[in-house]
Chain A
């Protein structure tokens, strides 16, 4: 439901209108005139997120934090087109009512998130690249780790390395595990290899030498030689991309970086050009997987760090919504058409993992992709979405997903030819969705077709259609809860202490039931799921990560060496952060030390402020390590000797929540707290249908309190509260649900 742009007299009550600036600049009377007068001082920030289907954009004007939203179909052949169009559209929205022809000049930054890197790897259309390695290791990327990701599949498929054998060259040189030079670099051989690669017509070259994580001298020298010999060639060296022990994973990361580098560099350069063409001279910031942003130049150097750029934005948006409500421990939960994602965030900071996978052969099979050692928001993804198909397993049991009906043919109720019963069909029959109000009524759902699909399953299962519909919905919830439960357990945390924040089209429909399975009491549903990632981009802190591995017993650490390496990394990182425009905020520098008991394989990360790198730090580290270890595993290891594996330096601007206010017609302004309808809906507690009130979400003024069971309808989704609960509309229109 959308009010026209000219709608006036919104927010009848004075108190309310102070909070609700949602009505847009036009309706604000006196304030509007003031705004005009001070336009010069009003800064605009723009966020654009390229997704698979849509390119979303949000503009924010400060002070005031008012926001505008725009959307375009993604232009896969040249994604920059949609990005530029969305930006123009946003500027137009801001400028038109204000008659501000110079809005573009007020833009102070453009934050950009994109799935381009992920897609390039999945679709295998990256650059032709070369690889230079230590003698004897040319086949490392073929041999991998020799494990199978599925125990029982005899016809297993593994992803091919991105650099074929003919483009790999071995160099006689050698470091040892302590970083000592065993054999000097044979420079003549390097030059020959580079000439051969040039002749082969590669566009980019990766360099990955054994033990370069502890001594990068040879890699650096090869890079110098390359710069002299092949000016303009793209180059990535492993000690700069992923300075960590484990040659296969490091080599995989470096080659993947090379693989996407030419494309991303060109894309980013063109995008900057496009922005200049529309008179946006502001710097371009890029969202990276770790949940921070960096400069466009840094992103072009290490584009592999953009792998999870889009999802990271979504998580940050959820975290921001919670912080605005005074909540800092969050389970961000996103459920769309095909997948559900979950991410744990404590103290307002999303969990970050340090290894990841790209280009999986099987989307939901761990280990079926190419490993990537980059800091990345630690989220789990499972095959559970509105389109997930219900089917009967070999055991005669009902299963849901991971197969999905996709957008075409889609669920049976879309009436596009889909015959399979999906989660959306079940949700429709259960009354969680309204056939007349899907996507704001733009798409009518066919209840008859959903019933037919469910009946077929019900007959085969010898069960009633309602039982089957509830079974599908309940089962998909159980699958998501199970995945979240294990994910949270792996971090040694207790789900009951978290608040779930739902996004995505199906997120608000399922979140209350998933929360109840996890014994989570508090649930938040953010506004405008579609623009979610962009809001996250706007709330993102500047962030930079550096790391280096050196395996040493804690009691034997050479603190002078650690200090000098960290200091060097700090200088480098600080330069990058300044270039990223850390907005003059205070930067929080921390070191994350990966520690384990000598002999163990897995490490526990201990985080300390980055200062006073000296022997005394050893004691603090041991104490912190044991505390964290006991928290994770219940006890420490008597007689165990702590050992340091990797040092990680992170600089991050302070976390500040941003309260956004809609400058467009989010809130219909009718101020009615009365239900717009009542409808039959399945109530799990009762095990049967009941009649519940239906509210128009954006007709409910902030401060409204309702009781569950109830339904809150909106254009992008439906907040379904099928249990007794207290529901409250917060001042930013977030819906808060407290379960009994």
Chain B
């Protein structure tokens, strides 16, 4: 078949095929993963990039952060392992926060795809693995060494053969080696599946992937630029405070809207901290871009072109651009504020497109031994969404991330805890013409004979989610052990009979109440 002309119909048909290939691989990755975060919370992604690491398409189900990070990871790999040196069957890996997703708990892989003897594309995948060693994930870790094993960019496989030394090192340093490596192998199988399907697609259609990629990226970029034109030019500012470990952190954004691009400068935000809430630039960019996409162009597909008009910057040493060896395990607690912060800045010029601040996904992780077995569990508890112009905020929902809770029955089957109650927090949403969403309250009792370690990521204890346009702030979060306020930034050892209570924040309201 001769090469098809890339008119608006052919392009759409080929693109649909390409996305279905990626979704097929994504389904495989999801189903074979051990991590509860992958399967309950879609904490994974798989993408296809061109030979320069520009994303062509990404799995539809993934959470927002990886949309921004994975192509950057591929470009880092290409910088360190030039394309000309890569052979069929090579698989690269890393969990370096700066090169990849912002914390070491996500392992990334990257594999070149060859067709008729020539490299044509790269497949990359990442997922939040069940364990990465180190101390339990929480806001309290003070540097990256406490957080677990670091995997520098390495060959995981060479020409189809596993590098056993790399595998052995990882396995020796994590608590549940067969599960952690099982998830990595799940990524590898999914990448192979995608490579096979892609070869079939290229063979059948005779299409030049670069040409198709340029078309897709070009159109997405143009659509994003068109959406930006609808926002008046200018520099818009917002400043928030957020807390995750007992001290407020300042986040400051200057959003500069040009004709067809947006640049966000985070100067003036707090410096990096000796806690695990530092946000590497990949993640800073990812959540900023996600917030803008929700506002401006939710229908535009995810690829390199859609995000080209958006740039972010923060000075080195900032909490939004930390230096090694900053800890970053709980970077979500700060990074996920960025969509709301940017919306706050733009609320005056695009009031119908924004949402007031909400709670961020809170979580606790717990490890120990129960009935002679080691356990390591992690559970999310979400709070209220911010209200918008014309609608109330949703109660107890994950935003901007999309991580679900774990069923109580599953939790009790996995760890020595007994739930006392999980309920809504009536009245916790900020008042306004439209009220903020309600937070949740969860109380449980430790019932194991041996003590266990528990760590939390609970934000907005001191700094409630602000409202917009005259709307009131929501109620702040609360954390207590046995009825006494407990510091969220520490690891705690809990005994049988201890009662833990987490209350998540309500979302901010929109507009003056009574209007």
Residues of A within 8 A of B (CB): 135-140, 142-148, 151-156, 158, 174, 176-177, 182, 210-211, 213, 245-249, 392-399, 461, 463, 467-468, 471, 474-475, 478-479, 481-483, 485-486, 489-490, 551, 597, 599-602, 632-635, 637-640
- List 8 A-B pairs, minimum CB-CB distance, nearest first: A136-B421, A471-B9, A601-B39, A152-B298, A482-B20, A639-B178, A177-B413, A147-B404
Do residues A136 and B423 form an inter-chain contact, with CB atoms below 8 A? yes
Report how far A461 CA is from B6 CA in the complex, Å.
12
Contacts of A144 in B (CB 8 A): 396
Do residues A148 and B399 form an inter-chain contact, with CB atoms below 8 A? yes
| Cβ-defined partner of A597 (8 Å) among B24, B30, B182, B398 | B182
Contacts of A248 in B (CB 8 A): 407
Do residues B27 and A146 form an inter-chain contact, with CB atoms below 8 A? no
Report how far A639 CA is from B399 CA in the complex, Å.
37
Residues of B within 8 A of A (CB): 7-9, 11-13, 15-17, 19-20, 23-24, 27-28, 30-34, 36, 38-42, 63-64, 130, 176-179, 182, 185-186, 189, 192-193, 219-220, 222-223, 226, 293-295, 297-301, 353-355, 380, 382, 388, 390-391, 394-399, 402-405, 407-410, 412-413, 418-424, 440, 443
Do residues A146 and B380 form an inter-chain contact, with CB atoms below 8 A? yes
| Cβ-defined partner of B294 (8 Å) among A136, A154, A599, A602 | A154
| Chain A min CB distance to B337 (Å) | 16
Report how far A455 CA is from B297 CA in the complex, Å.
28
Contacts of A249 in B (CB 8 A): 407
| Cβ-defined partner of B8 (8 Å) among A142, A213, A398, A599 | A398
Report how far A139 CA is from B15 CA in the complex, Å.
43
Do residues A154 and B404 form an inter-chain contact, with CB atoms below 8 A? no
| Chain B min CB distance to A311 (Å) | 22
Do residues A143 and B11 form an inter-chain contact, with CB atoms below 8 A? no
* A135-B421, A599-B179 known; A396-B28 Cβ under 8 A: no
Report how far A489 CA is from B193 CA in the complex, Å.
10
Since A155-B391, A635-B189, A637-B182 are in contact, a sample of 5 more A-B pairs with Cβ atoms closer than 8 Å, ordered by chain A residue number, is A151-B63, A395-B220, A396-B222, A463-B7, A634-B192
| Cβ-defined partner of B409 (8 Å) among A152, A246, A600, A633 | A246
Do residues A395 and B39 form an inter-chain contact, with CB atoms below 8 A? no
Report how far A77 CA is from B179 CA in the complex, Å.
55
Report how far A392 CA is from B403 CA in the complex, Å.
33
| Cβ-defined partner of B408 (8 Å) among A148, A247, A467, A468 | A247
Do residues B409 and A210 form an inter-chain contact, with CB atoms below 8 A? yes
Do residues A478 and B17 form an inter-chain contact, with CB atoms below 8 A? yes
Do residues B7 and A467 form an inter-chain contact, with CB atoms below 8 A? yes
Contacts of B179 in A (CB 8 A): 599
Chain A residue, CB-CB nearest to B413: A177
| Chain B min CB distance to A44 (Å) | 46
A-B pairs with beta carbons under 8 Å apart, 25 shown: A140-B408, A143-B396, A145-B404, A145-B407, A147-B397, A177-B413, A210-B419, A245-B410, A246-B409, A395-B301, A396-B8, A397-B219, A468-B9, A471-B13, A486-B20, A489-B27, A597-B34, A599-B130, A599-B179, A600-B32, A634-B189, A634-B193, A635-B185, A635-B189, A639-B177
Report how far A633 CA is from B186 CA in the complex, Å.
8
Chain A residue, CB-CB nearest to B382: A146
Contacts of A632 in B (CB 8 A): 31
Report how far A637 CA is from B34 CA in the complex, Å.
10
Do residues B24 and A211 form an inter-chain contact, with CB atoms below 8 A? no
Interface of A, secondary structure class, is: loop
Do residues A398 and B421 form an inter-chain contact, with CB atoms below 8 A? no
Do residues A245 and B407 form an inter-chain contact, with CB atoms below 8 A? yes
Do residues A151 and B219 form an inter-chain contact, with CB atoms below 8 A? no
Do residues A137 and B404 form an inter-chain contact, with CB atoms below 8 A? no
Do residues B409 and A154 form an inter-chain contact, with CB atoms below 8 A? no
| Chain B min CB distance to A151 (Å) | 6
Report how far A463 CA is from B8 CA in the complex, Å.
9
Report how far A142 CA is from B439 CA in the complex, Å.
11
Do residues B394 and A397 form an inter-chain contact, with CB atoms below 8 A? no
Most buried by A among B130, B413, B440: B413
Do residues B9 and A395 form an inter-chain contact, with CB atoms below 8 A? no
Do residues A138 and B33 form an inter-chain contact, with CB atoms below 8 A? no
Contacts of B222 in A (CB 8 A): 395-396
Chain B residue, CB-CB nearest to A633: B32
Do residues A148 and B398 form an inter-chain contact, with CB atoms below 8 A? yes
Do residues B422 and A146 form an inter-chain contact, with CB atoms below 8 A? no
Do residues B405 and A485 form an inter-chain contact, with CB atoms below 8 A? no
Report how far A504 CA is from B47 CA in the complex, Å.
36
Do residues A490 and B176 form an inter-chain contact, with CB atoms below 8 A? no
| Cβ-defined partner of B34 (8 Å) among A148, A395, A463, A600 | A600
Do residues B31 and A490 form an inter-chain contact, with CB atoms below 8 A? yes
| Cβ-defined partner of B420 (8 Å) among A136, A143, A474, A482 | A136
Contacts of A639 in B (CB 8 A): 177-178
Contacts of A395 in B (CB 8 A): 219-220, 222-223, 300-301
| Cβ-defined partner of A463 (8 Å) among B9, B12, B298, B301 | B9
Contacts of B301 in A (CB 8 A): 395
| Chain A min CB distance to B379 (Å) | 11
Report how far A486 CA is from B33 CA in the complex, Å.
18
| Cβ-defined partner of B219 (8 Å) among A135, A146, A154, A396 | A396
Chain A residue, CB-CB nearest to B339: A154
Contacts of B405 in A (CB 8 A): 143, 145-146
Contacts of A158 in B (CB 8 A): 394, 397
* A482-B19, A602-B39 known; A394-B297 Cβ under 8 A: yes
Report how far A143 CA is from B478 CA in the complex, Å.
18
Do residues B24 and A146 form an inter-chain contact, with CB atoms below 8 A? no
Chain B residue, CB-CB nearest to A182: B418
Most buried by A among B179, B222, B353: B179
Contacts of A393 in B (CB 8 A): 12, 299
* A140-B422, A147-B402, A600-B33 known; A152-B294 Cβ under 8 A: yes
Chain A residue, CB-CB nearest to B443: A136
Report how far A482 CA is from B382 CA in the complex, Å.
34
Do residues B189 and A633 form an inter-chain contact, with CB atoms below 8 A? yes
| Chain B min CB distance to A624 (Å) | 18
Report how far A648 CA is from B145 CA in the complex, Å.
47
* A394-B299, A468-B9 known; A247-B16 Cβ under 8 A: no
Contacts of B64 in A (CB 8 A): 151
Contacts of B7 in A (CB 8 A): 461, 463, 467
Contacts of A479 in B (CB 8 A): 16
| Chain A min CB distance to B6 (Å) | 10
Contacts of B299 in A (CB 8 A): 393-394
| Chain A min CB distance to B447 (Å) | 8
Do residues B422 and A143 form an inter-chain contact, with CB atoms below 8 A? yes
